Amino acid sequence: MRLPEICDMDIEAAEAQWGFPLDQERRAVLRCMDTVDIRACPGSGKTTLLVTKLGILASKWKYKHRGVCVLSHTNAAQREIERRFSQVPSLRALTAYPHFVGTIQSFLHQFMSIPAAIERFGTRPGVVENEYYEIEAKKEFFQGTRRKGPYATAWNAIANWIKRNPNVTIADYISREIEYKDENLTLPPLGLKNRPVGWDSPTGKQLRQFKKRMSQQGIFRYQDMAALAGWYLKKHPMIADLLQERFLMVFFDEMQDTIVEQGCLLDALFPERSVVQRFGDNRQAIYHSTADNMTGAHFPRGTVLPMKKSFRLSPSIARLSQCVCADSPPEELVGDTRKADRRHTVLVFKRDRIQEVLPDFCRLVACEIRTGLSETQVKAVGANSKAKEEANKFPSAISDYWPSFVPRYQRAQARLTCLSAHLDQAKTGMITTRSTGKGRTLLLDACARMLRLQGITDRSRPLSPSTMVRQLRDKCPAEYRRLNTLLAITCQTLLRGGKPNLGEFAEEARAALGHFNAESWNPHVDQFICNTRGEANVQQALQNQSLANDNVFRYQCEAGPVSVKVDTIHSVKGETLCAVLVLETIFYEHDLKALIDKGYLKGQLRNANPLRRLAEHLKRIYVAMTRPTDLLCLAVLDEHIKNGDLQALERLGWAIKEIL
């Protein structure tokens, strides 16, 4: 079947509509209608170009039952594509049949994992979430006692296995380790490495029954769903033919972050008949860098179209960032000559002066750019958020620079504690995103959690927020409207800086959820609403400036205020910022020290095939250094600087500021 052609007239019309410069590199990508990989440098306008191409295709698409499939690795990338879609009316057609726009995970779930769960276990997945799985797995496994219960033999066996590992508990083992590994739904090896236990042993049989019971309840881990997709494809290979028949063109965004298991499934689904175009940058593949499922060898491959020019970076930031770009083959990173160069600075600090790093960075921002910038435009980022106590590992984490910093995983734990924590996180999420969507999601999660604590299920499956809303809307419109009103009023109160009364919110929520529960609410729900221990933990955390302000460091310079969002490097991937400070932290070794010692940051070494750990440092620091449009700074401990290092950095173009 003939695909639409994109000609110069289409490109010129798109350029006029978007106001987006389309040079020869970008025009080549737009015209190409063959299978190809597009390697796009940071700030090259990759997503805008993809949406531009989709807009042209949508205006020319004539097939009623054959469509375009657009897949992204993360929800954030999907939301960005959908936001762009909302700006162009012609693109809205791609959000309905026969087209598909979503994450790789949602695609595999819809077409493979969900049908597999129904066929294999007789149930539709109710909840696919690792955290919730862990909660329900513990409830399932620990019913009864250690001596009397359906899993008593396994309970005692696991207790013996983990005696040699004090960092692991029985609960950790059964809630995290027992998951489907591959297309055969294989479960992992049992027992100790030197004393393995077979799955046909009494312990193995009980654990198989445990996993089967979790699956029949529709409760799965993310890895379980990936394995189910592989199982379905193996049993029904014709699904590949059906999907290729439906989707003439398949586009992938952020392909470098796709894990190997997903990549192999997608290769099997779209081997030859569909045109597959994959956008990404293997130099920014940081999400799976510590696992064995790295994807650098899988992207790019075959025919590659480059996008080397960045509209984000100034020429000086491009030149400095190029030094930590371990690519193969080497490829020049081209900055935008319209952007002014700034005094990009290496802040060298002594141990006892580390907490002066952020104030010094604020003064640089005030001097080089201006004051009053939003914290969403100025960020300080580090690779590691988990502090270590050893003196030789200083600085180990972001909190060494700012003790008030609270890692994301701790904040997530606080969110799960009680209703008050849900409200606090809803407020933070709405202020950060400037919309009520995040707040509504968290409040719906709190309501669904109340029902789950009450024991309410959906056909023996855990009740999810989406199922709760759908059932209310379909069966009890009045209660549905009542819940929506409560959520809207609460979100607006939180956005205005107010704090809703917990008791009043809970009373109104329970009234709106009356369809699900005709009896009195049990003590577990009351504890969730008024959990004194959880509430104390949350209040103690809220005394921390970072949690109250969502990890924003505020400093009053002589010229005015400067706010800096402090976070991990992973959190800023894909973002465009005004100014960035890269904090030296430790991941097996100090990252910036390693890159200085090896010569990368000094512009003295370009090894296209660095060893794995060094490659991980390079990718993370490359991502961090290629976020800012205006000002780039590094923070390095003075003990990690050797004779000649500062001079080499200065020759490359860095300014040096010693914090003594």
pLDDT at 295: 42
Average pLDDT over residues 19-27: 86
CB 35 within 8 A of CB 277: yes
Average pLDDT over residues 312-329: 84
Q: Strands of 100-103's sheet, edge to edge?
A: 100-103, 67-72, 247-253, 275-280, 36-40, 304-307
Task: Specify the higher pLDDT residue, 562 or 333.
Answer: 562
pLDDT at 161: 84
566, pLDDT greater than 90: yes
228, pLDDT greater than 80: yes
557, pLDDT greater than 80: yes
Rg (CA), the chain: 27
Q: Which of 191-200, 527-536, 543-552, 571-580 has the highest mean pLDDT?
A: 571-580
CA distances 445 to 499, 541, 618, Å, are 18, 21, 38
Residue of 171, 177, 92, 88 lying closest to 135 (CA atoms): 171
Query: What is d(CA 224, CA 128) in angstroms, rounded to the nearest whole number?
Result: 9
296, pLDDT greater than 60: no
Q: 381: which residues sit within 8 A by CB, 6+ positions away?
A: 398, 566, 567, 568, 569, 571, 572, 580, 581, 582, 583, 624, 627
Query: What is d(CA 381, CA 373) in angstroms, rounded to the nearest whole number?
Result: 17
Residue of 46, 27, 35 lying closest to 3 (CA atoms): 35
Which contiguous run of DSSP H or E holds residue 562?
strand 560-568
pLDDT at 147: 75
Out of 219-233, 292-306, 328-342, least confident range: 292-306
pLDDT at 77: 66
pLDDT at 363: 95
Give 334's DSSP letter. B
Q: Is the peptide bond before 150 cis (omega within 30 degrees of 0)?
A: no
- For a pLDDT cut of 70, what percent of the chain falls above it? 89
pLDDT at 117: 95
Cβ-in-10-Å burial (0-12, 13-18, 19+) of 597 comes to middle
Banded model confidence at residue 548, pLDDT cuts 50, 70, 90? very low
536, pLDDT greater than 80: no
pLDDT at 6: 92
Banded model confidence at residue 48, pLDDT cuts 50, 70, 90? confident
pLDDT at 593: 94
Task: Specify the higher pLDDT residue, 448 or 359.
Answer: 359
Residue of 261, 256, 332 lying closest to 297 (CA atoms): 256
pLDDT at 608: 60
Question: What is the pLDDT of the chain when averaged over all its residues?
Answer: 84
How far is residue 492 CA from its own chain's centroid?
A: 27
Query: What is d(CA 502, CA 500) in angstroms, rounded to the nearest whole number?
Result: 6
618, pLDDT greater than 50: yes
H helices within 96-168, ranges in order? 104-108, 114-121, 130-141, 152-161
Structure tokens at 45: 């306008």
pLDDT at 517: 79
Task: Specify the higher pLDDT residue, 32 or 469.
Answer: 32
Average pLDDT over residues 367-389: 89
Q: In this structure, which amino acid lies at residue 352? A: D
Banded model confidence at residue 543, pLDDT cuts 50, 70, 90? very low
Structure tokens at 526: 């009351």
Which residue is associated with the tokens 């300080």? 380
What are the pLDDT digits (tens) for 645-654? 999 999 999 9
Residue of 273, 284, 275, 276 lying closest to 307 (CA atoms): 284
Task: Specify the higher pLDDT residue, 230 or 130.
Answer: 230
Out of 95-109, 272-286, 447-461, 544-558, least confident range: 544-558
DSSP lists the bridge partners of residue 636 as: 348
SS3 143: coil
Average pLDDT over residues 204-213: 94
What are the pLDDT digits (tens) for 506-529? 899 999 998 887 678 888 888 888
Largest CA distance in the chain: 77
Query: What is d(CA 432, CA 426) in angstroms, rounded to the nearest whole number?
Result: 10
Q: Which of 46-60, 79-93, 274-288, 291-305 has the highest mean pLDDT?
A: 46-60
pLDDT at 534: 42
Average pLDDT over residues 52-79: 85
599, pLDDT greater than 80: yes
What are the pLDDT digits (tens) for 408-417? 655 554 445 6
291, pLDDT greater than 50: no
Q: Which of 145-159, 221-235, 323-337, 491-505 has the highest mean pLDDT?
A: 221-235
Banded model confidence at residue 538, pLDDT cuts 50, 70, 90? very low
Average pLDDT over residues 4-33: 88
165, pLDDT greater than 80: no
